Amino acid sequence: MPNLPDETIAIALTLAALAAVWLPFLRGAKLCLQAWAATARLQPNDLKRATPSASERRKVEPMATLMTRVLRKSIDHNNETEHHPADFVFDAARQYVMHEYQSHYSSLISMYANLLPPIGFVGTTGGMLILFLSMHLSDSSLELGALAVALTSSVFALVAFSILEGFKVTLYRRLLLSLGDIHDLFERSMSTPATNASGTARAAVPVAAPAR
């Protein structure tokens, strides 16, 4: 059974490997929680609001709310000047929202996740170097610590990487579902076009007009 100094060195190096993985994982996990709130599915009445309330502005704005606001402005502008097909306007608004999600959440989560495998590899390589040195010095306590950091650094890094990447897939699915709700409202509004002041048919916007 290993003596106390061996155990102390192994535990200390294991905690060091965990600390090296913990920082990027914690940053990525915080972004995942924010993205979870941003990809929430909203009720139809919430989707029809043009702007979030003052209390909601202090929180993470759902992508669905951003989509309805951008879509309303795009359709109003298109009806006044551009006269593009409604499906084209919807697709452009959807691409804008997807780009915003990618920039603020998905890319950053990937960045932190991609830092983890190299950190684990560095820990494993460093542990193997310490192991060879301990074998040369015939230091059994150093051998145990080297094995601990070589094994645990890779395990911690790969587990953390898998968690972040798996969560990112779930978040993307939530985003598609939340934008799908807006698409359904948009399709229903297109099936019942409104009429403007000149008597020309125009697509109804699936969000309420802003309060004056």
CA distance 10 to 142: 8
Contact 62, 40 (CB under 8 A): yes
CA atoms within 13 A on the CB side of 193: 10
Structure tokens at 13: 């190096």
Provide mean pLDDT across the span 66-75.
86
Mean pLDDT within 66-82? 81
| pLDDT for the residue numbered 4 | 44
pLDDT digits (tens, 9 = 90+) for 159-203: 999 999 999 999 999 999 999 888 888 888 777 655 443 333 344
What pLDDT is recorded for position 138?
67
Per DSSP, the three-state class of 39 is coil
Contacts from 194-199 at CB under 8 Å and sequence distance 24+?
196/79
Provide the β-strand partners of residue 201: 195
Q: Are 164 and 109 in contact (CB under 8 A)?
A: yes
Provide the token pair at 97: 């929202």
Instruction: Kindly report, residue by residue over 119-128, the tens digit of the pLDDT.
Output: 888 888 877 8
Distance CA 140, CA 134 (A): 7
